[in-house]
Structure formats: C-alpha cells, structure tokens
Amino acid sequence: MDGTDLRAELSRNYYVRSRTARTAALRMAYIAYARTVAGWQLRRPTAEARASLRRRIEELFERDWQDANDGIYPRELIEGLPWREYALAAPKLLADLPRTRARIRMGRHDELPGQAERYPTYYARNFHYQTDGYLGHTSAELYDLQVELIFGGTADVMRRRLVPPVVRFARAQGYGTARPMKLLDVACGTGHLLRFLGKALPDARLYGLDLSPQYIARARETLPREMEVSLVCDDAEKMPFVDGHFDAATNLYLLHEVPRDVRARVLGEMFRVVRPGGLAVVADSLQLHDAPELSRELRAFPERFHEPYYEEYAAQDLTALVAAAGFTVRETTLAFLTKIVVAEKPG
C-alpha cells in the first residue's frame, strides 16, 4: 500500500468510526428526547438486530465516504451536519415539547391550523404528532432536526444515497453546461435532497414539488441562493407539468405516509412527467421482508408516531410498486433503514 492509498484508508476509517460514534451519541439524545416527550421506554434491540444495525450503519458511512472520494459529490457534503441550522432550531424544539407531549399522550392527531380542510384527508393530520403536521412554519423549522435525532445523524447520509445514480445517469447522458439536465424532486420538503443534488450537479435545472406551502417557504429560505431551483407548491397526485418534461425525477420518504391508491397515483405521475429514457429514483423505508431481524424496530415506528399508512406500506414491495407504474427497474439497494429503487422509463 503506497502513501496515497494509506492516507485514503486512514481517512475512510476515521470517517466511518467518528460518524458511527456520533450516531451513538445522537441516539442517546433521541432516547432522552423520547422519554421527555412521551415517557417512552425504548426496548433494547435483540443481539441480532444490534449486529444488523451496526453493520448497516458502517456500510452506509463507508459508501458515503467512497462516493465523495470518487468525486460523485463534493467532499464538503460529508464533512458535517448543518449544526448552525440545528442550533437555531433546538430552543424551538424544546419549547414545543409540552404541546407534542400532550398530543401524544392524548392520541390527538387532528390539531391543525384552519386551512387544513383544503388538503386531502390523508395529509391533514399531525404526522409524528408534530405541531401543525406539515401545515405550519414551526413544523417546517423543526422537522430536519427531529428527523436527525430519530435516525441518529444518518438522515442526510441516507438522503445522499439517491445522488449517485442521478450523477451517473447525468454523466452517461452527457448533461452539462451546454445541455443541462432537468430534474424534479417530488415531495421535496425543506429541500435537503435538492441541496445535495445541486452541489453534485451544479449545471442541472432543479425543480422541487411539495404540497406544504410552509415547507416550500422553508426550502426557499435555506437553499443556497446560487442554486438554480424552481419550487412549486402543488399535489404530487396531479403534477402541474406536461408529459415528459423532466429528464429525471426523485422521490424520498413520501410513499409510507400516503394510502395505497395514492402511492400508485404519485408513481404514475412521476412516470408521466419523466421523458422516455429518463430516470426515476424512488426511496423510502425498509420493508419487512428486507430485514426480518429488524421487524420489531420497523413495527415500533408507527406505534410511537402517528403513521397510519406505514404498516401497510412496509408489507408491500417498493420495487414492484415502481415497476407497476411502468418503469423498468435497474437496481434496488438498501442503505441502513432506507430502500432505494433506480428505474428508467422505457424509450
């Protein structure tokens, strides 16, 4: 092993070990948060589940480091969490705890602002028992910090798993400054995935679609000003775009929060708006058959949070859902607690 290889190996080992240690620390913070919010006594995973989680976390960080090292995306993306953003959100999260605690203990999931009746019934609820569901500015400010606590600092790393197939597709198709790729992120939320895609593909024309005006506003506030991105507040079941408008589309962590028929319509709309020969990358939670040793942990998610459609989603097959929409599936991979399906629209 020469000096360059040795430095790379030391860098990889340091990254994996330091991020794994950080995950353990944030897991302890989440346990404290969960006990404060709802008095949950989190069950200790079985030995098999602990070994599986440890292996999956290490593999996740190893792939993240390797993709940055290989130039799939800039190294700056793996160097740390957005601590300033989370530091600003943390006092608001603590201040919001009493309302969240009361909502969980009373089982209330319908404490929403007045405009909630304008939205589909499945959407107008306090997902995760968070204040205002997806229809409040406080919710939009706190969401990313809450998710990072729940997943021990791995949420953004799992989001980045969607970037490599998009970058490889863009390079293979010859997209660049002279021929920019048009990419749509469906259910873009506060824009974290768009931020990663913009850093990896600075010449791409990015679009984000989300049903929440508050989350769209948060994305506008936090996305880099130099990034070329258009944000649209609209329904993924009937997207306001013409057929074949995009070269690629992504969708992350939406399908487990909608009923079965809505999943099919969203994927059908993605198929419609992607051009023939275009790319679709769809990712969501692991499903029960993906990791039987983690079935107790996966089933605990809807038990602790208001996630009425999760159990039914977890029993389905995401790969089959994407194929049923008309796409040709090229690859299915697992990344810690996330499942990623890479597909193309037949040309």
pLDDT tens-digit readout, 307-345: 999 999 999 999 999 999 999 999 999 999 999 999 999
CA distances from 129 to 111, 144, 264 (A): 9, 15, 26
190 vs 211: CA distance, rounded Å = 11
Q: Which amino acid is at 68?
A: A
Give me the pLDDT at residue 9, please.
Answer: 86
Structure tokens at 125: 């609820």
The distance of Cα 329 from the centroid of its chain, to the nearest Å, equals: 20
Give me the pLDDT at residue 174, please.
Answer: 97
The reply to whether the predicted model has a pTM over 0.75 is yes
- Run of H or E including 93: helix 83-106
Structure tokens at 267: 């994927």
Give me the pLDDT at residue 39, please.
Answer: 62
Residues of the chain with pLDDT under 70: 1-3, 33-34, 36-43
216 vs 188: CA distance, rounded Å = 8
Beta strands in the chain (DSSP E): 182-186, 205-210, 229-233, 246-252, 274-285, 328-335, 338-344
pLDDT tens-digit readout, 230-270: 999 999 999 999 999 999 999 999 999 999 999 999 999 99
The distance of Cα 28 from the centroid of its chain, to the nearest Å, equals: 22
